[in-house]
Structure formats: structure tokens, C-alpha cells
Homo-oligomer: A and B are copies of this chain.
Amino acid sequence: MKSSEMQTAANDALAKRYGQKAIPTIGGWNETIALLMAHRSIRAYRPDPLPIGTLETLAAVAQSAATSSNMQMWSMIAVTDQDTKAKIAAASQKQKHIEQCPLFLVFVADCSRNRRLGDAADTELASLDYFESFLVASIDAALAAQNAVVAAESLGLSTVYIGALRNQPLFIAELLGLPKGTLGVFGLCVGYADEHAVNEVKPRLPQEAVLFHGRYGVMQEKDLIADYDQEMGAFSKRHEMSDDTWSGRVLNRLSNPANLNGRDQLASILNAMGFKLK
């Protein structure tokens, strides 16, 4: 940490992310790190279109992310058509920001491109039938997408991931012409934030609850989560949501598979979509 200005900026960003009581002692700091620390998911967008070429910039950085053995098992579909976005929103718990944002990106876990290579060469690519290949494709897509998020935010744009894209994967596949061996694994809204929707940075668990040295440990966990429940309770109150603790929200969300909104069928749907998941 070089200057006292940087130290102040870092402490301010860490206080927002962890709360005053849980600021970790960090090392390096720079503008890129400041950008990453300041991430917020935004769920309301102005209708303003993106500058020409923004999509291609996001795709270029997405492709620059690491990909397992350079197999590049992911694709992205840019959706800008209002009717298509409305249909995706309707299938994704009516999240209005999908319709609002000028650019909706569908990230695709894609085993089909390499399968087509095999078919053209009359070579059976048996490894694509394994669970491992689906996982590689999903992780490839996530690494690519996160680069796109970082670049979007560096350009003054906002984003939010849409996991609800997995609520009705067959509908999404039909809508976007996805072939067998692909899954629209998540969506990403991209656009200019409606300023009324820009919240504080959301606090996360204390670093000691997530980062371990040498071995996983749970000794301090209850106390750390109790601290975080206080922090998130206060955050929730400030935003006039409710005074639910984080623990309460997690228990509520995960105790009832109905909250999966159809994603409890994902494994069998993936089989129907051509992923054998051996």
C-alpha cells in the first residue's frame, strides 16, 4: 500500500464490503481492485442503448479468460429484441430488468461445437458424455462472463446475473435455437443503471468465514456468521426491505425446493438436452 490516499480508499471500500468491524488487512491496491471491490448487481436500467461495439468488446474480454485446455466450451448469445427479452423475462420469474436492459447476454455451456468437430471427423468424442465435460463447460462460461462483467463496469455499465435462466431450459433452448449439448447456464443484464436503483455495496461474510489457511476450518464460524447476521440485518433495514438476517434468508430459501422454481428438474432436463452426465 503506497500512499495514505490509497490506504483511505482501500479502507473505505473494505468497510462497505465487510462492515466496519470486519475489515481485513490487505496488501496491494489499485484502480482495478477498487473497481472489483465496488461491484453491485443492478436490477433496474435506463432504456439508453449501448455505444456501438460494446458487445464486441465484452465478447473479446470474455474470450480472453482462461478456458480448460483451450477447448472453449462456451458461447454467448446477445439478445436485444424486445419481444425475445420479454419472453425470457416471463420464463424467469418476471424479472423486469431483463426487459429493461438494452443488452441481455445468454451464456451457454457448450459441448455441441466440439461434438460437431467430432461428427465432421467421424470421431466419437466419448469424453463429452461425462459429468466432467458439463462442469468444464459451465465453469468456462462463468470465467468468461465474469471478465465481461468487469469490463462492463469499467465502462460505466452495470450488470446482474440471471440464474433464473435455468428455470425453463428447454423453453430458452427453443427460443434461441440452442442445439443438443448446450445449456443457457445463466443470463446477464447489461446496461446503464437507473440511478434510483443503485444501492450500497452489499456486505459479505467476514473473510475468515470463507478464506482458510492450509486446512478448512469451522471453529470460528458461528461467531463470524452471528456478526454477519447483524451487519446484513442493518443493511436490510436501511434498504427498507425487512430485518431478516442472512441466516434466516438462507434457511428460508434452501429449505423448500419449491423455491428452486423448476430448477429441481435440472438434472433430468439436462439428460433430455443431450448431456449424459456419466
- Bound form: Cα–Cα A139–B32 in Å: 22
State the Cβ distance, A86 to closest chain B Cβ, in Å: 14
B28 touches A214 (CB 8 A): no
> Smallest CB-CB separation from A154: which chain B residue?
B32
A161 pairs with B113, CB closer than 8 A: no
Instruction: Give Cα distance in the complex from A207 to B64, angstroms.
Output: 11
State how many copies of this chain the complex holds.
2
Is the beta-carbon distance between B166 and A221 smaller than 8 angstroms? no
Contact residues in B for A74 (Cβ distance below 8 Å): 210
Q: Are B76 and A210 touching (Cβ within 8 A)?
A: yes
Q: Which residues of B contact A63 (CB under 8 A)?
A: 17, 204-205, 207, 210
**C-beta contact mask, A175-203 vs B, less than 8 Å → 1, else 0?**
01111001001100000000000000110
Residue A12 is within 8 A (CB to CB) of chain B in the complex: no
Of residues 121 through 154 on chain A, the ones whose CB sits less than 8 Å from some CB of chain B are 121, 123-128, 130-133, 135-136, 138-139, 142-143, 145-147, 149-151, 154
Q: How far is the CA of A148 from the CA of B254 in the complex (A)?
A: 28
Q: Are A139 and B142 in contact (CB under 8 A)?
A: yes
- Chain B residues within an 8 Å CB radius of A77: 211-216
Which residues on the B side are within 8 Å of A216 (C-beta)?
Answer: 75, 77, 108, 176-179, 182
Residues of A within 8 A of B (CB-CB), count: 130
- Interfacial chain B residues near A69, Cβ < 8 Å: 163, 249, 253
Q: In the bound complex, do residue A255 and residue B127 qualify as a contact, i.e. CB atoms below 8 Å apart?
A: yes
Verify A136–B163 contact, CB threshold 8 A. yes
Interchain nearest-CB distance for A3 vs B (Å): 15
A127 CB contact (under 8 Å) in B26, B52, B259: B259
A–B Cβ pairs within 8 angstroms, 22 of them: A26-B57, A28-B155, A32-B150, A36-B150, A37-B64, A38-B64, A60-B207, A66-B149, A70-B202, A71-B250, A76-B211, A78-B213, A117-B225, A117-B250, A127-B259, A131-B266, A131-B267, A139-B139, A139-B142, A142-B146, A176-B216, A179-B218
